[in-house]
Chains A and B, each alone.
Chain A
Amino acid sequence: MAKFSPTPRCLETRKLLPFLDAQRDPAWRQQYASLAGHITTCPQCQRELKSLEQMLATVENQIPCKALSPHDQENLNHEIAEVTLEAHLKNAPRPSLWRRLLQWAGR
């Protein structure tokens, strides 16, 4: 079997392949569009692309995407509401009963 010798286009493709998933960025999308034609015709670059996609899937499986239980989520939302309300009352333009109460409570 003849040894594969990469063309300048192949080398350019390999340089950009690791950031293939950056395609959602408009500037990068244009650059990849120009390489897409080459990738579809070059078997070596296609293989590289496939192994790269597998690698990205492995990486993605290792990144946690933790979700809270409904109870904890409710607690978090409650805390957020409390913090937001407290800041709102402190920054209220005129002293209100709530503000005076907060001052009285030392908060």
Chain B
Amino acid sequence: MKNILSYFQQSSPKLFSFAYALLPDVLQAQQLVIDAVALLVTERKAWVEETAKIMAAQEVATRSTLLQRYLYRHIFLIGRTRAKQVAITPPPEFASFYALPVTSRAVLFLHHQTTWPIDDIDDILSLERPVLFAHLQQARHALLDKLGARIPEAF
């Protein structure tokens, strides 16, 4: 109990940054993190069984990675729904970023601002690899387009 609590508290700054990339409001993003943690702790029994199965299949994945993946995945799922329900004015300096669809924002954030490997990003966002890369490329294009930046030929 103490261990899991200190783990949540240590991870909360990173989780908050991700939540803020989905919902650009401090209170809404904080609530997103709290909701994901609440979901995990209330479903803990089911989750422990599920992770045991996954860990048996993938020796590499540690429990901490699975825990993080669970939290990121649920922040994304809840955030995606909530983003449709609430109208938030994004900070002007990131207006181009927040003009992108939620999934594109999540892909960009996870790929550029975290150290998650591609395999884990696939899993967090429940996307197939080609779809993930398509999202990544489209999101970068759209972002550069909105900024009026030159897009390299190879891109």
B-side interface size class: 35 or more
Q: Establish whether residues B108 and A59, one from each chain, have CB atoms under 8 Å apart when the complex forms.
A: yes
Please, which residues of chain B bring their CB within 8 A of the CB of A88?
Answer: 1, 41
Q: How many residue pairs, one in A and one in B, have C-beta atoms under 8 Å apart?
A: 129
Q: Considering the chains assembled together, what is the distance between the CA atoms of A85 and B9 in angstroms?
A: 13
Would A84 and B1 be within 8 Å (CB), given that A62-B147, A66-B17, A91-B44 are in contact?
yes
User: Does A51 reach chain B (CB closer than 8 Å)?
Assistant: yes
Please, which residues of chain B bring their CB within 8 A of the CB of A65?
Answer: 17, 113
Please, which residues of chain B bring their CB within 8 A of the CB of A66?
Answer: 16-17, 20-21, 26, 29
Q: Mark A71-107, 1 if CB is under 8 A from B, else 0.
A: 0110111011101110110110000000000000000
Quick one: which of A4-53 are within 8 Å of B by CB? 14, 17-19, 21-22, 24-26, 28, 48, 51-52
Q: Considering the chains assembled together, what is the distance between the CA atoms of A52 and B154 in angstroms?
A: 8
Chain A binder among B31-39, B50-58, B73-81 = B31-39
Q: Establish whether residues A24 and B5, one from each chain, have CB atoms under 8 Å apart when the complex forms.
A: no
Q: Establish whether residues B16 and A55, one from each chain, have CB atoms under 8 Å apart when the complex forms.
A: no
User: Does A67 reach chain B (CB closer than 8 Å)?
Assistant: yes
Would A58 and B149 be within 8 Å (CB), given that A63-B109, A72-B26, A87-B38 are in contact?
yes
Residue ranges of A at the interface with B (Cβ–Cβ < 8 Å): 14, 17-19, 21-22, 24-26, 28, 48, 51-52, 54-56, 58-60, 62-68, 72-73, 75-77, 79-81, 83-85, 87-88, 90-91
Residue ranges of B at the interface with A (Cβ–Cβ < 8 Å): 1, 4-5, 8-9, 12-13, 16-17, 20-21, 24, 26, 29-30, 33-34, 37-38, 41-42, 44-45, 91, 94, 96-97, 108-109, 111-113, 115, 117-119, 133, 136-137, 140, 143-144, 147, 149, 151-155
Chain A to chain B: the 4 pairs with minimum beta-carbon distance, closest first: A87-B41, A66-B20, A51-B152, A25-B118
Since A54-B152, A63-B97 are in contact, a sample of 5 more A-B pairs with Cβ atoms closer than 8 Å, ordered by chain A residue number, is: A19-B136, A24-B117, A56-B140, A59-B112, A83-B34
